[in-house]
A and B are shown apart, each in its own frame.
Chain A
Amino acid sequence: MPSFDTIIIGAGPNGLAAAHRLATRGAKVLVLEAAETPGGGAGLSHLSYNLDPRVEKAMNLSAHGLEWQATNLATTALSPDGNHLRLEGPVGARLSGDLSDADRLAWEALRARLLRFAAVLAPLNQMPPPRIAKGAGNPMLRLGMIGLRARMLGAADFRELGRILLTNVHDLLDDELSDPRLKGALAFDATLGGWLGPQTPNSVLPWLVRLSGQMAGLQGALGLPKGGMAALGTAMARAAEAQGVTLRCAARVARIIVEGERVHGVALVGGEELRAPRVVSSVAPKTTLLGLIGPRHLDAGLTTRARHQKARGGAAKLRLTLRGLPDFQGANPQDRLLIAASEHAVEAAFNPVKYGRTPDAPVMEILLPTAHEPALGGKHWLSAIVQFAPYAPPDPDAARAEMLAACRRQLEAHAPGIGALAESAEILMPYDIEDRFGLPGGQWHAGELSVEQMLFLRPLPGIAQYKGPVQGLWLASAGCHPGGGVSGSAGWNAALAMEADG
């Protein structure tokens, strides 16, 4: 058994990005993955919208098998009567369909403004979050540049950024737009993966974070890898292995070994112990602290803050196996399809979930992978991210059945006959996602990406700069700054922080 100086828990995008960066600097890295294959949360998502350009470049993913099926996927906002609205180009650069000129002009202006604002914030993704503590060694120059760029937007834009930063998506859209399909599609995107509805205060900022991402240099564009997002995880794993990282799958970490108040490695389920002076957890911080480290190695106040960290998942993952390609009333099956009739439909889907119930008419993002890459035997399948689903309903099995039935009703309404095509249907509720992917609460960002859990508050005050509360422990999860998606940013930032720490 070779010895390692770094053990990374989790072969998701962040774990692999950190592993690669550390290995290029000479570290002997072992990555442990609980699942049978690497990729982690990448396999949960549909599309790439915020892959960190530093990660993509350094890991040279195209040399490790990553190919793009589409790098600028269009979105169709579905209407049950076939009167769809198509958003082409990044974040609906062009709109086709039946839409008033007033809405076209208003959206053009609003879209440009949102992308400008998001671009100002984008550099934050590539740096450790500033801390408020004295002598935190904040990169004042880079922070100053962000402030300066925000100010250089001009007085009107700067004021507008201040006005909308903490407001809600519903009001923002309602002020400018009137078309319910457009508002519904945008409200859906803004709340995707969060525990909030369009009317929830502070829902604009997480949307700006999402819009700060890019695909092949195009801000806000959506990318679809060949073979799906899992292929992105696979390519990252190959890149890491090519760099000398040892990857071990089907190795679930039971706990992090802490002795004499420092980390000494990990113990696997089954009892095997693996020793290393540095352990990097790309598992959600809440799980890392409360589950893998454990309260007795942590201060009581920190433990309480970790317990109180908000990690509520509101998204479910639906998969249908179909005998043929469904027809969504003429919509292009290669598009990303959205069922979100209006901003109110999104809000209405969130309302029951707050009280542990399932919505009657869930909203969803649909992908038909076999429309891009035909499967053997002419089979088709449909994948959907469905919002909103309760993360802790009183009866999980009943809620799962209700949710599936509601999804099938929604699909049937938008693609009549799809029910007859379906051979099998499976839905992963947030609690299933928690079990399968280790995300607390089934939260897609490994901890809600909400204003009160961003920057120096992410994952928790005092440990926001990737250095864990126990000597030798580092946090490199989507639950850390800058958050989720399949970006690798948190892992990369964490690796940089480890280098800076020496």
Chain B
Amino acid sequence: MTPLRHYETPLLKTPFHPRTEAANRLWSWGNWGGYTTALSFDDLAMEHAAIRNTATVYDLCPMVKYRVEGPEAAEYLNRLTIRNAAKLSVGGVQYTAWVNDAGHLLDDGTLFRLTENRYRLCCQERHLPWLLDSAHGFDVAIAEETEEVAALALQGPTSAEVLRLAGFDIDGLKPFRLAEFAFGAGRLMISRTGFTGDLGYELWTTPDQALALWDRLFEAGRLHGLRPIGSEALNIARLEAGFIITRYDFTPADICVREDRLRSPVEMGMCWLIDWDKGHFTGKAALSRQRDLGAEWSFVGLEIDGNIPAEGAILYHDRKAEVGVVTGACWSPVLKKNIALAQIRTRHATGANIWAEIYALRELHYEKLMMRARVVDRPFFTPARRRATPPGRF
């Protein structure tokens, strides 16, 4: 019998931990899905600057990964998710989401089509019971493979050059495509995907190759400003890119207690993902009803006056009526603007006369600021280098 000693290690370590531990000069750690995750390595500003100016490595191992495999994998995913998984060609990646019967969001994530009948679904939350329940009636096998995969995000303008120097020919790799390479005794999959909205890649291998991969990248990136980043720098970059995070920007339906906090893809600005013509999928009837009747909530990007991040700020119309809440905010170092993502009542989603109530903590006293907020298009920041193929040689 295996002795139960899990309580001795409430946080697990990822396969890259020997390297992240050595690099973490601030000893700043957080919990991401039960794993020890660096929040910041040495300097938040420098880490974010590297995402936008050189290249960065972020340990993706805690991201939840599922293998979906079988002759009916595409049919299964089409019933599970709101987007059309059958249209995704082999070697492609799509951003997608899935909902419950009532059309309320369970999670969003990225779907990789590895072969005709094999997909990988990556997401923030754990969903195995839902995925297995959804598999009833489909010739498909579902397995969690989070621990079988070691993954790194390599992001930033010089990331392509770092990969070239590391010996991987990625010049032909377009955004949302993936390629396979031999690496050491195993394989390395490189996808042109990421969570920064910049030129960047995600690298996928087995845990036994993890440290070799890390070392190869840092050797190759020595003269290209490669540095490890923590979750704090990534959070700023993802806000600039306008990306949402489950639990931060919406509460997933399976853990949501308050009925009025449930959100649908229509309400989270994800309507563009929904394929209304692909046939039935879970939640479709509820979503089409909501589409026809109009959703009560909308999800928007905001620019807010001043330079105090509006994290958690309540939004008001005409400084009086409460109309929404900021779910994520930062001072954008790239844009030199105060930006935010927010849930807002649909009738105010056009953004006239919206104000954010910000509490600025100044030497132990809060100062309440009522700052004007303007609804703007997302993403806030989307450089041309993100999509250029072949990628530029920075």
Contacts and interface: CB of A to CB of B under 8 A. Distances in A.
Interface of A: 258, 261, 290, 294-304, 307, 462, 469
B81 to A, nearest CB: 11
B130 interface: yes
Contacts of B134: 300, 303
A94 B130 CA distance: 56
A269 B282 CA distance: 28
Contacts of B80: 300
Contact of B136 (A258, A304, A462): A304
Contacts of A299: 100-101, 282-285
A301 B100 contact: yes
Contacts of B136: 295, 303-304, 307
B3 interface: no
A302 B75 contact: no
A301 B137 contact: no
B96 to A, nearest CB: 15
19 contacts: A258-B280, A261-B285, A290-B137, A296-B75, A296-B280, A297-B280, A299-B101, A299-B285, A300-B79, A300-B100, A300-B101, A300-B130, A300-B133, A301-B100, A301-B282, A303-B133, A307-B136, A462-B101, A469-B285
A227 B130 CA distance: 51
Contacts of A300: 79-80, 100-101, 130, 133-134, 282
B279 interface: yes
Contacts of B195: none
Given A296-B79, A300-B79, A300-B80, A261 B279 contact: yes
A300 B80 CA distance: 8
B280 A298 contact: yes
Contacts of B133: 300-301, 303-304
A296 B138 contact: yes
Q: Which of A294, A299, A302 has the most CB of B within 10 A?
A: A299
Pairs A-B, 3 closest by C-beta atoms: A295-B137, A301-B101, A299-B101
Interface residues of B, number: 17
A297 B137 CA distance: 11
If over half of A's interface residues share one DSSP class (helix, strand or loop), that class is named, otherwise mixed; here it is helix
A363 to B, nearest CB: 36
Interface in B262-288: 279-280, 282-285
Contacts of B130: 300
Contacts of A304: 133, 136
A457 to B, nearest CB: 16
A11 to B, nearest CB: 28
A228 B89 CA distance: 62
B20 to A, nearest CB: 37
Contacts of A302: 101
B236 to A, nearest CB: 36
Contacts of A290: 137
Contacts of B100: 299-301
B56 to A, nearest CB: 38
A464 to B, nearest CB: 15
A409 B283 CA distance: 55
A290 to B, nearest CB: 7
Contacts of A261: 279-280, 284-285
Nearest to B137: A295
Contacts of B279: 261, 296
A290 B100 CA distance: 18
Given A299-B284, A300-B282, 20 more contacts: A258-B280, A261-B280, A261-B285, A290-B137, A295-B137, A295-B138, A296-B137, A296-B279, A298-B280, A299-B100, A299-B282, A300-B79, A300-B80, A301-B101, A301-B133, A302-B101, A303-B133, A303-B136, A307-B136, A462-B101
B105 to A, nearest CB: 14
B63 to A, nearest CB: 23
A93 B39 CA distance: 79
A294 B137 contact: yes
A462 B80 CA distance: 20
Interface in B105-151: 130, 133-134, 136-138
A258 to B, nearest CB: 8
A295 B137 CA distance: 6
A300 B133 CA distance: 7
A302 B280 CA distance: 13
